[in-house]
Chains A and B, each alone.
Chain A
């Protein structure tokens, strides 16, 4: 299965990925409208790497779509589920915003929504062809890779 991977050495910490993530998950499929009129938060965390209390570099983190996802096990409503392809989705209609998923995600990659009624997590932009964070990263710091490509990247 293809997943999004972040490359620490290339990340500028610019936040463009978050802008496009919000756009992808907004009812307005437009950057400006999503930013001004919609309340969605991104499904991406930009992590700081610290040296002597100062952030010196960055990397982005989104749902790892674990093989045996703890969030799915913890979900009390059945909203969180893994589809046939292995993508972990949250069904907003059934989510009650209890944050049981947040309490067990070992990456801290699930965020609560602004209205606290649900959560926000990466769904790999299913329906867009390619995740918008990958497409719009100005420095190729986020890539969509399958298992073989991961092997190559790690060498």
Chain B
């Protein structure tokens, strides 16, 4: 009987366990997690913070799910090192767990920039915002009067800001970029998002950064690089994530920023696989290897790893970013390339805060941003991932709202009638 061990209990780990069980109904599957909570929807932490999602709805799978699939989950167990020769993982506290196939799905952790005066261990009002525990601690600490500074106007920082809305005195988001979510939004789209958030009392300080923090055990003020001094009762650091590769380094896995894997999610060591935020993936457009911290990509890679661990060959597709987010009712979907010098087709209605930007390069759709007009977004996403030649479609996608009828009759029939393996 095969022994499968998965380090990490989130999107990649759980989808891997599901895929293994689908292909091997007898094997022993164990998931270990250093967190104390059972698997939760990680992006839901901002919904927990705002109170929109109650604790019982945080969980990614029902309580009896793992039991029903005969998957053993060990919480509060952290891998310390891996013995490749004897195929064992040593855990902190002295435990040992044997494996035949191992998956490293350790995710990513917060990137902590070097800021003068910052001491995460001592300062009790400085938070990161990646885990359920982070959210619980932050929620406990805030008061109706708190002056909150969020360092970082990316996805995580803005969701933290939205989650805090109405529960604190003031919220100021600081970012070095000239716009919010600079990695997934062009300036015009970012301005719509920023304006909408400002209307909901979120303040922004852009093109500047937190450069010094004052207060020994509690931060009281922060200094920005533009010489402004801001009062601060709560500081949230959300400037990005870094792959958790400590465990990979104990066995000298090939890594760059993240763990290097092939298209079967195999690492450089035999019977050791890796998936999710901790790995490097191939960028669909450039072919470059880089880290994508995306929930859906982690789920996909977990599934691919699981199939291959259970000896059913499956290849992982190349990756491009697709993000769906909402802020105070403003719905936003961004995918692929948004900033490059491609030909842009933009339909804009500023009154309704609607925007549809299609980025076209040669004969391909390479990216899009949709704000408040997202109904058929997945069709655009498929046009990108399948590298569909736009000239072969039934109509010009810039001429009207896209539908499934955009495909020619033959193509449509094929996609619709053939058993869908997507």
Interface residues of A (CB under 8 A from B): 5-6, 45, 47-50, 59, 61, 64-70, 73-74, 76-78, 93-94, 96-112, 116, 147, 150, 154
29 contacts between A and B (CB under 8 A): A6-B416, A47-B404, A48-B405, A66-B421, A74-B295, A74-B296, A74-B299, A76-B42, A77-B41, A77-B53, A78-B60, A98-B324, A98-B326, A99-B333, A101-B378, A102-B333, A103-B323, A104-B296, A104-B378, A104-B381, A106-B378, A106-B379, A106-B422, A107-B379, A107-B415, A108-B376, A108-B379, A108-B403, A147-B419
- Chain B residues lying within 8 Å of A47, measured Cβ to Cβ, are 403-405
Q: Does B43 count as interface, using CB distance less than 8 angstroms?
A: yes
8 Å CB contact of A49 from B44, B329, B333, B405: B405
Question: In the complex, A98→B422 CA distance in Å?
Answer: 21
A13 CB → nearest B CB, Å: 12
B23 CB → nearest A CB, Å: 13
Question: In the complex, A54→B405 CA distance in Å?
Answer: 13
Q: Is the CB of A98 within 8 A of B325?
A: yes
Q: Is the CB of A100 within 8 A of B53?
A: no
Question: In the complex, A77→B11 CA distance in Å?
Answer: 10
B86 CB → nearest A CB, Å: 34
Q: A98-B324, A108-B379, A116-B329 are in contact. Are A67 and B417 (CB under 8 A)?
A: no
Question: In the complex, A81→B271 CA distance in Å?
Answer: 30
Interface string of B361-401 (1 = CB under 8 A from A): 00000000000001111110110000000000011000000
Number of chain B residues whose Cβ lies closer than 8 Å to a Cβ of chain A: 47
Question: In the complex, A93→B53 CA distance in Å?
Answer: 10
B18 CB → nearest A CB, Å: 10
Q: Is the CB of A64 within 8 A of B59?
A: no
- Chain A residues lying within 8 Å of B381, measured Cβ to Cβ, are 103-104, 106
- Chain A residues lying within 8 Å of B300, measured Cβ to Cβ, are 73
Q: Does B57 count as interface, using CB distance less than 8 angstroms?
A: yes
- Chain B residues lying within 8 Å of A147, measured Cβ to Cβ, are 419
Question: In the complex, A41→B377 CA distance in Å?
Answer: 18
B130 CB → nearest A CB, Å: 14
CB-based nearest B residue for A151: B417
- Chain A residues lying within 8 Å of B404, measured Cβ to Cβ, are 45, 47, 61, 107-109
8 Å CB contact of B296 from A48, A100, A106, A111: A100
- Chain B residues lying within 8 Å of A103, measured Cβ to Cβ, are 322-324, 333, 335, 374, 377-378, 381
CB-based nearest A residue for B15: A73
- Chain A residues lying within 8 Å of B329, measured Cβ to Cβ, are 116
- Chain B residues lying within 8 Å of A109, measured Cβ to Cβ, are 404
Question: In the complex, A48→B53 CA distance in Å?
Answer: 38
Interface residues of B (CB under 8 A from A): 15, 41-44, 47, 52-53, 57, 59-61, 295-296, 299-300, 303, 322-326, 329, 331, 333, 335, 374-379, 381-382, 394-395, 402-405, 415-417, 419-422
Question: In the complex, A85→B165 CA distance in Å?
Answer: 42
Q: Is the CB of B44 within 8 A of A76?
A: yes
Q: A64-B416, A93-B57 are in contact. Are A102 and B375 (CB under 8 A)?
A: yes
- Chain B residues lying within 8 Å of A93, measured Cβ to Cβ, are 57
- Chain A residues lying within 8 Å of B415, measured Cβ to Cβ, are 106-107
10 additional contacts, CB 8 Å, given A76-B44, A102-B324, A107-B404? A48-B405, A49-B405, A61-B404, A66-B420, A73-B15, A73-B303, A76-B41, A99-B331, A102-B378, A108-B375
Q: Is the CB of B299 within 8 A of A100?
A: no
Q: Is the CB of B57 within 8 A of A70?
A: no
- Chain B residues lying within 8 Å of A61, measured Cβ to Cβ, are 404
B165 CB → nearest A CB, Å: 16
- Chain A residues lying within 8 Å of B53, measured Cβ to Cβ, are 77, 96
B373 CB → nearest A CB, Å: 11
